[in-house]
Chains A and B, each alone.
Chain A
Amino acid sequence: MSDYQVVGKSVRRMDTIAKATGQVLYTADLSRPGMLFGKILYSNRAHARILNIDTRPAEALPGVRAVITGTQAPNSLYGIYIRDRLIFATDQVRFIGEPVAAVAATSQAAAAEATRLIRVDYEDLSPLFSLEEAIAPNAPILHPHLVEYGSIYPYIRYGNVCLDAQLNMGDIEQGFADADYIFEDSYHTAPTHQAPLEPHACLAEIDDNGRTVVSTGTQQISVLHTELALALDLPLTDIRVVPVCLGGGFGGRLGTHFEHICALLAQAAQRPVKIILTRAEVFTTTAGRAPYTIRMKVGVKKDGTITAKDTDVLVDAGAYADQTPGTATHAITVAQGPYSIPNCHARARVVYTNNPNWGCMRGYGAQEIAFATESIMDTVAHKLGMDPVDFRLVNLSHEGEISLSTQPLRCVTIRETMEAAIKASGYREKKGRMGPNRGIGVANLFHATGYLSSSATIRVNEDATITIISGVTEVGPGSQTVLRQIVAEVLGVAVECVRIAVVDSDSAPYETGSIASRTVYDAGNAVRLATEEVRKKMVNIAASRLKCTAEDIAVEGGWFFQFTNPDNRISFKDLIGIAIYVTGGPLLGSASWLAAGPFPEPVGEGYGQGPMGTFLFGTHVAEVEVDPETGKTRILHITACHDVGKAIYPAGVLGQIEGGVVQGIGAGLFEEMCLQDGRVVNPSFVDYRMLTALDTPPITALYIERPDPTGSFGAKGLGEPPIIPPAPAIANAIFDATGVQVNEIPITAERLFYALSLKKISPTAPATQANKTIRKSDHR
């Protein structure tokens, strides 16, 4: 693929100098004349009726300019999937960390003091902290109006279950009847937090036309805009969202969690208001990754062929649905894994509790499912006496087969990524020869992207530079650079000539945003199509000037020329002049994109996810050493191979893999939001353990390129994939090292020590409480 001039080259990013010199402004760095500081008062009860809120002492404090509660906020329900909440709790609070009131004052100290002076009288209600309690028949109902709530899809909902969705392929009962053995187990994944280094911040102000202007770092301008309009009960034209440089996203800057409060304070005070959340507030109030409980059952033949797989996912939504319905439906979409399974069924239920309001994080639903799938694959291989790699190899998905979400799988590269990772890691040589307390484990990746809308406009400027008008924000990995490369390649110009416009919600066309591994694929396709449209216009002008047909025109190095007679040519710049002054008018191209494909056919209503544009594959190999005295796991090496379709910006690809693997190790070994009666008890970087530079092992990052014809220059997506396989690969390596499987992540030293101790006492005992003894099938 060396035909490309710009695609496939690690070109220079435009944003790194300002970031390296400290000149770039993040939201907290913004200031306005007369600016006030906002502070939010959060509920300290998990479930309680609000009897009274007395704001008078706060209002009397010097420097306080506005105090607001639910009575001053619009009575308009909002929510991305299910419209189930108001900006402030009014009659009752449902989690510790739910906004109850807010203050704007002339200093941060005054705002903080004022929130402390607000007196809220609560009457405690019985809380629900566990999924079992919440789905029990007589459980208190947390949302009595659940079925009346608006939602983007007609989800099946009842009791405390806000979504109940199923996918089915083949005959699951027959599949288990055909099996020689059946294995069943339960898995649990802990709630985690995106924990971007930049604490969430927002600046809201009222402009000269009375519009509310919200400046903040976001992964999705358009969706934040829509959500704000819904929550504030204003038309979209009365709100302007201005994206500010974002200090990390990872799924944490979707929709709104406090920006609407900042807007209300600015409206109330008629002054600019800035809110910067404390790190503890970020951890407790901004919707981390939801905890999953997954029951999985696999039927196999003696030769290792899988005949059936059944998956039952229970998701703790916390107090409000937020992003959890999307993660749950995605989880069942990929529940079969990258394996060919004729009879497959998956069900997901999302359940309200009084735990914190959970959302989504990088690898939403897919990371959780992959932990279960890749763990049970090793369980089965072990019981069959097969090598885990060989067992996977006999069951891999094939090109063109229909997935559980009733879509044909295209560009299936799992065999290639497995072979590359196995070879690079030296798995075959190392397996069984790692030495005492050491082990090696494998995990595969099955994920999908290419969904939800994008649109873009390309403007060819008078001096032959190009401006991309797109709502894609730069979360960090270099997505905007990729868009510039796509445009430069299509128009045959240098990448330095292509810049991204500074946009806001007024100027950017609708863009779902930098989420769900979709930017390069979806936004990239919108940008490519818009560029192709403008190129077509230019080619037509060139053809008419050069007196040949459009098919005869080639574009290269800033020239449009007749393919058969390269001397018959016109420069890019002259052509723009002709367009502006002679024929056709200024050159613009616009395009909209939404991945096409057969729509999924779920079992009944309640699934709601559209077709996926492209499927993502990868394989990781983990090597570990376990200290049997303490249960501490040390990662010796990770080999990570991903199929990216086409690496448009190779430096970005490697950066994504290395960074994602480290987050994946965090999920596997350390990261957990610890809850006690609905309260996050470790809301700090000291107690929420992320990897430091001392904890990261050597990582071999590899990628393969099998171009997907539906992506720009064949590119798929890579935002989330690298975070997905590390946890199960590590768990499988620990299994190899110790003979103990731990079915709960993170596998902290305490959890592993406990599991190892149980094994010492009783070698046949299950490793964790959730772990049920594997049983032989009765069906034989």
Chain B
Amino acid sequence: MEKEITLQVNAKSFSVDVGSGELLVDVLRDKLGLTGTKKGCGTGDCGACTVLLDGKPVNSCLVLAVSVEGKQIETIESLGDTNHLHPLQQSFIDNGAIQCGYCSPGFLITAKALLDENPNPTEAEIRAAVAGNLCRCTGYATIIRAISAAASLTTEVKSE
């Protein structure tokens, strides 16, 4: 059974036919072509598929597409593009926080949610915020540094 629903993704409206059991991650990737959101496990354990739902980070592999009609969905594609990188993206690049890159979109989206709510997080707060995102390459040190550096950069800009 498929049903047409309207999804608000990255400030645009999409009408899309979805099945009752279809997951948000699959709709984003397969039906809207937004493949920046990655699927690492499909069971909510790794955080690679993290997107923002009304500003809150969620594992999109645990969300039914039909349940998020009317909510604002933000994916990695909304964060910044090649010519206009978000400070977090720039900081991840500058701090060597990206190796294989598969976990990066999930970390970036989680970090954005953190900084939106808490522009000056402590290291412990950063670690707690990204505890649901797994990375196999970096050992997290560069990721924590990158988020921390982006936070101070953003704070400086705001205080100017």
Q: Which residues of A contact B (CB under 8 A)?
A: 10, 12-13, 15-26, 28-29, 194-199, 245-250, 278-279, 475-478, 651-652, 654-655, 658-663, 684-686, 690-694, 696, 699
A192 CB to nearest chain B CB (Å): 12
Contact B137 A248 (CB under 8 A): yes
Q: Does B58 make an interface contact (CB < 8 A)? A: no
Q: Is the CB of A279 within 8 A of B127?
A: no
Known: A22-B35, A279-B41, A685-B45. A197 touches B85 (CB 8 A): no
Identify which of B82, B99, B127, B134 contacts A685 (C-beta below 8 A).
B134
Contact B134 A199 (CB under 8 A): no
Smallest distance from the beta carbon of A30 to chain B beta carbons, Å?
Answer: 9
Interchain CB contact (< 8 A) of B142 among A246, A655, A694: A655
> Is A658 a contact of B40 with CB atoms below 8 Å?
no
A141 to B48: give the CA distance in the assembly, Å: 44
Using A477-B137, A684-B45 as known contacts, list a sample of 11 further A-B pairs with CB atoms less than 8 Å apart, ordered by residue number in A: A19-B104, A20-B92, A22-B36, A246-B100, A651-B96, A652-B96, A692-B134, A693-B126, A693-B127, A693-B133, A696-B141
21 contacts between A and B (CB under 8 A): A16-B92, A17-B89, A20-B89, A21-B79, A22-B104, A23-B36, A195-B136, A197-B103, A198-B40, A279-B40, A477-B99, A478-B99, A655-B142, A658-B139, A659-B99, A659-B138, A685-B41, A685-B45, A692-B131, A696-B141, A699-B141
Q: Nearest chain-A residue to B140 (Cβ)?
A: A693
In whole angstroms, what is the CA distance A250 to B100 when docked? 11
Evaluate contact between B82 and A247: CB separation under 8 angstroms.
Answer: no
Q: Shortest beta-carbon distance, B80 to chain A, in Å?
A: 7
B102 and A198 contact, CB distance less than 8 A: yes
User: How far, in Å, is B79 (CB) from chain A's closest CB?
Assistant: 7
**Which of B101, B131, B135 is packed against the most chain A CB atoms within 10 Å?**
B101
The answer to whether A24 touches B81 (Cβ under 8 A) is no
Q: Is the CB of B9 closer than 8 A to any CB of chain A? A: no
State whether A21 touches B136 (Cβ < 8 A): no
Chain A: minimal CB distance from B99 (Å): 4
Contact between chains at B35 and A25 (CB < 8 Å): yes
Cα A691 to Cα B143 in complex, Å, equals 14
Enumerate chain B residues within 8 angstroms of A199, measured Cβ to Cβ: 39-41
User: B136 is contacted by which of A18, A23, A690 (Cβ under 8 Å)?
Assistant: A690
B75 contacts across to A, CB distance below 8 A: 22
0 or 1 for each of B14-53: is its CB under 8 Å from A? (1 = yes): 0000000000000001000011111111110110100000
Judge whether B130 is part of the interface by a CB distance below 8 angstroms.
yes
Shortest beta-carbon contacts, A-B, top 6: A22-B36, A19-B101, A247-B102, A662-B139, A476-B100, A22-B76
- Say if the beta carbon of B11 comes within 8 Å of chain A: no
The one of A21, A198, A249, A279 that contacts B43, using a Cβ cutoff of 8 Å:
A279
Nearest CB of A to B77, in Å: 6
Confirm or deny: B65 has a beta carbon within 8 angstroms of a beta carbon on chain A: no
Q: Are A197 and B82 in contact (CB under 8 A)?
A: no
Residues of the A chain whose Cβ atoms lie less than 8 Å from the Cβ of B81: 21
Query: Is B66 at the interface (CB under 8 A from chain A)?
Result: no
Which residues of the partner chain A approach B96 to less than 8 Å between Cβ atoms? Answer: 10, 651-652, 654-655
A13–B93 Cα distance when bound, in Å, is 8
Q: How far is the CB of B113 from chain A (nearest CB, A)?
A: 15
Q: Which residue of A lies closest to B36 (CB)?
A: A22
Contacts A17-B93, A477-B99, A654-B96: A659 and B139 contacting too (C-beta < 8 A)? Answer: yes
A residues less than 8 Å from B140 (CB atoms) = 662, 691-693, 696
A475 touches B100 (CB 8 A): yes
Asked if B101 and A15 make an inter-chain contact with CB atoms under 8 angstroms apart, the answer reads yes
Docked pose: A245 CA to B130 CA in angstroms: 24
| Closest-CB distance, B153 to chain A (whole angstroms) | 15
**Alpha-carbon gap, A18 to B102, bound state (A):** 11
* A247 and B131 contact, CB distance less than 8 A: no
Smallest beta-carbon distance A144→chain B, Å: 39
* B residues less than 8 Å from A696 (CB atoms): 139-141
CA distance A24 to B105 in the complex (A): 11
Contact of B45 with A197 in the complex, beta carbons under 8 Å: no
CB <8 Å contact, B37 and A699: no
B73 CB-CB contact with A under 8 Å? no
Given contacts A250-B136, A659-B139, A693-B140, contact A28 B45 (CB under 8 A): no
CB distance from B39 to the nearest CB of A (A): 7
B1 within 8 A of partner (CB): no
Do B82 and A476 touch (CB < 8 A)?
Answer: no
A121 CB, nearest partner CB in chain B, Å: 31
Please measure, in the bound complex, the distance between the C-alpha atom of A655 and the C-alpha atom of B98, giving whole angstroms: 10
By the criterion CB–CB under 8 Å, are B99 and A694 in contact? no
Across the interface, do B41 and A21 meet the contact criterion of CB distance under 8 Å?
A: no
Proximity string of chain B (95-118) to chain A, C-beta cutoff 8 Å, 1 when within and 0 when not: 010111111110010000000000
> Shortest beta-carbon distance, B126 to chain A, in Å?
8
Whole-angstrom distance between the alpha carbons of A250 and B105 in the complex?
21
Give the A-B pair count, Cβ closer than 8 A.
164
Kindly list chain A residues whose C-beta atoms are within 8 Å of the C-beta of B48.
197
Cβ distance A288 to chain B, nearest Cβ, rounded Å = 13
CB distance from A11 to the nearest CB of B (A): 12
The reply to whether B102 and A22 contact each other, CB–CB distance below 8 Å, is no
Q: Which of A25, A248, A250, A686 has the most CB of B within 10 A?
A: A248
Min distance, Cβ B102 to any Cβ of chain A, angstroms: 3
Pair A197/B93 contact, Cβ less than 8 Å? no
Q: How far is the CB of A692 from chain B (nearest CB, A)?
A: 5
The complex places the Cα of A19 from the Cα of B135 at a distance, in Å, of 14
Q: Give the shortest distance, in Å, between B127 (CB) and chain A (any CB).
A: 4
Bound CA span A651–B128, Å: 26
- Complex contacts, A15 vs chain B, CB 8 Å: 101
Q: B7 at the A/B interface (Cβ < 8 Å)?
A: no
Nearest Cβ on chain B to A693's Cβ, whole angstroms: 4
The reply to whether A694 and B128 contact each other, CB–CB distance below 8 Å, is: yes
Bound: A18/B138 CA distance, A: 18
Shortest Cβ distance from residue B134 to the other chain A in the assembled complex, whole angstroms: 6
Name the one of B93, B100, B105, B130 contacting A22, with C-beta atoms under 8 angstroms.
B105
A554 and B35 CA atoms in complex are apart in Å by 49
Chain A hits for B127, CB < 8 A: 693-694
Known: A16-B93, A21-B76. A661 touches B139 (CB 8 A): yes
Q: What is the CA–CA distance of A95 and B144 in the complex, to the nearest angstrom?
A: 41
> Distance in Å from the Cβ of B109 to the closest Cβ of chain A?
9
Measured CB to CB, the nearest residue on chain A to B19 is: A109
> If the complex has contacts A17-B85, A22-B36, A279-B42, are A197 and B102 also in contact, measured as CB distance less than 8 A?
yes
**Interchain CB contact under 8 A, B100 and A197:** yes
B81 and chain A: residue at smallest CB distance: A21
Q: Looking across the interface, which residue of chain B has its beta carbon closest to that of A17?
A: B82
A280 to chain B, nearest CB (A): 9
Chain A residues near B29 (CB-CB < 8 A): 29
**Closest chain B CB from A663 CB (angstroms):** 7
A693 pairs with B98, CB closer than 8 A: no
* Contacts known (A16-B93, A20-B108); A248 close to B41, Cβ less than 8 A: no
Contact A476 B85 (CB under 8 A): no
Q: When A659-B138, A693-B127 are in contact, do A247 and B101 touch as well, CB less than 8 Å?
A: yes
Which residues of B lie under 8 Å from residue A278 when comparing CB positions?
42
Residue from B77, B98, B104 having most chain A Cβ neighbours under 10 A? B98
Are A21 and B80 also in contact (CB < 8 A) when A658-B139, A693-B144 are? yes
Measured CB to CB, the closest approach of chain B to A57, in angstroms, equals: 23
Which residue of the partner chain, among A29, A655, A684, A690, contacts B99 with CB atoms under 8 Å? A655
Digitize B66-78: 1 where CB-to-A-CB distance is under 8 Å, 0 elsewhere: 0000000001110
Assess the A22–B45 pair: CB atoms within 8 A.
no
Say which residue of B35, B43, B101 sits within 8 Å of A476 (CB atoms): B101
What is the distance, in angstroms, from A16's C-beta to the closest C-beta of chain B? 5
In the bound complex, what is the Cα–Cα distance between A690 and B134 (angstroms)? 8
Whether the pair A197, B99 counts as a contact (CB closer than 8 A) is no
Chain A residues, Cβ within 8 Å of B76: 21-22
Chain A residues with Cβ below 8 Å from B77 are: 21-22
Identity of the chain A residue whose Cβ is nearest the Cβ of B90 in the assembled complex: A20
- Docked Cα-Cα span, A28 to B102, in Å, equals 11
The closest CB in chain B to the CB of A276 belongs to B39
Instruction: Tell me how far the C-beta of B1 lies from the nearest C-beta in chain A, rounded to whole angstroms.
Output: 13
B104 near A20: Cβ-Cβ < 8 Å: yes
Residue of A195, A477, A685 most packed against chain B (CB within 10 A): A685
